[in-house]
Amino acid sequence: MQRSRWIGAGVLASALVLTSCSSGPAGVDAKQDPKAPLELWTRTTPGGPGEQGALKLATAFEKKTGYKVEVTAIFDDFKTKLQQRAAQKNLPDIVMNDVTQLGAMHSQGLLREIDLDKIKNSGQIIGQGLDSGKAVDGKQYGLPYSAQASALLIRKDWRQKLKLDTPRNWDDFAAMAKAFTTRDPDGDGKNNTAGLAAPLSTKRGYASWYFSNFLWAAGGDFITETGKGTYKPASATKASVDAMQWFRDLGCKAKAIQPGAVTMDTPPTNETFEAGRTGMFVVGPYLLPRFDETLGKDKYEVVPMPKGPKDATVLAEGGSVYLMAGSANQAGQDAFAGFAVSAEGQKIGMEGETGYTVQLPVNKTVDITQVRPDPRWKSYAQAYQDSGRYAPSIPNWTPVRQATADTVNALMADCGLDTGAKLRELDKQLAGILKEQGIAAS
């Protein structure tokens, strides 16, 4: 039996035998049957477009290879149901889930190590995408099949009305945010617009998620790696403090962030942009179809994030294929992973207006314009390739994201707080989290 530490709520789970229905514990090969059907779980809404996309990919894989795949879409209580299956010694063979779940699933012993030599097309995966599948021990436990990265949406009609150029640096960005707030860009004669849409709620760590686009571009960080698999807090470094102060000034001094941002997650923030109450929004490509319909494709534009004090690094995210421990059909697992990251699999995943499993391709041989000729998607793909950065694959990113979101939210909600002091307090909290997870630098 393999004993696994559950990192998250601060408790240790009981020892689990992490196996498929056919045999031995995690890390020990089950008796192999290359004809065994592959059970695939995808974290998406049953009956929705995500499930349709997974079924389309699985059908193409079956036709090409002969392996059978049974797709199950689960959204609510996905983690709980996966843990239940682990306790029942009946893990699915493959899981398609968010890249940020790697650390937690690896620390629980749910995953088997991936041998890239056995994964066809693995050499075609974009570098930072491949790295996102490595755990703190440096070994490969996930393969990306879809990516997304942030770019800047701008109300093009507002920018042209005020005769502004596309922002190239943070000074330009701040100037545009202020102009969109104070110069009546919609021409209604009312003081009812804000420069920047920003979801800064503490819910699910949104404030940290959004601010990371600015923090990293300034050369700051929440935590930083100090050696193989060890980290130290970095939110109180000069670059991090300067980034927080600059962002805070957009809200506290320029009043250029939408009112109520500190209580908003993404749905109400999205509404401010499409309703013409905000003029800029840093976000991924998944909102393009929505905004095209509600706002109008001609009203806004997609541009790269302007360069910060260091560079233009933006948050990269996406989904990964995880090969679960104890499978009776490891050859089938490997084959599915190879197909998902292949040029053929990526193109299948991108097809359609809805029901696609791939936002941006992770295969460097794939030109997104071959499937989506809209140049805005190309801009997003370029942002991912040139500037995308994933959150680190530590055992559990969630408490780091939540702690940092709480602090960012507090600083944006109370303009009287001392920025440096709050970030030093955050560093102490992060140090405890890293120690709890066993990855603190000595």
Pick the CATH number of 38-148+316-389 from 3.30.2270.10, 1.10.3720.10, 3.40.190.10, 3.30.9.10: 3.40.190.10
For residue 1, pLDDT beyond 50: no
Note the pLDDT of residue 24: 37
End-to-end CA distance of the chain: 30
Phi, psi of 73 (to 5 degrees): -95, 125
Does residue 12 carry a pLDDT above 70?
no
Those residues with Cβ within 8 angstroms of residue 119's Cβ, 6 or more apart along the chain or in another chain: 143, 334, 337, 338, 341
The sign one gets for the Cα dihedral 295, 296, 300, 305 is positive
- Give the per-residue pLDDT at 6: 25
26-84 pLDDT, tens digit each: 445 689 999 999 999 999 999 999 999 999 999 999 999 999 999 999 999 999 999 99
* pLDDT digit string, tens, across residues 262-282: 999 999 999 999 999 999 999
Q: Is the confidence at residue 9, as pLDDT, over 90? A: no
pLDDT at 19 over 90: no
Question: Residue 233 belongs to what H/E stretch?
Answer: strand 230-233
3-state secondary structure of 52: helix
Do the domains spanning 38-148+316-389 and 151-315+395-436 agree at the CATH topology level?
A: yes
Q: What is the DSSP string of 290-333?
A: HHIIIIIGGGEEEEPPPB-SS---EEEEEEEEEEBTT-S-HHHH
Dihedral of CA atoms 75, 77, 78, 82 in degrees, nearest 10, equals -150
Average pLDDT over residues 309-335: 97
Give CATH superfamily name and number for 151-315+395-436.
Periplasmic binding protein-like II (3.40.190.10)
| Summary mean pLDDT of the chain | 92
Burial class (CB in 10 A: 0-12, 13-18, 19+), 307: middle
Domain locations in the chain as residue ranges: 38-148+316-389, 151-315+395-436
H-helix or E-strand spanning residue 272:
helix 266-274
Report pLDDT for 352: 79
Is 323 within 8 Å of 93 (Cβ atoms)?
Answer: yes
407: tokens are 């602090």
- Are the C-beta atoms of residues 347 and 60 closer than 8 Å to each other? no
**What pLDDT, in 10s, does the model give residues 83-142?**
999 999 999 999 999 999 999 999 999 999 999 999 999 999 999 999 999 999 999 999
**pTM for this structure?**
0.91
> What pLDDT score does 2 carry?
28
Q: Which of 208, 223, 214 is nearest to 243 (CA)?
A: 214
Judged on CB neighbours under 10 Å (0-12, 13-18, 19+), 79 is middle
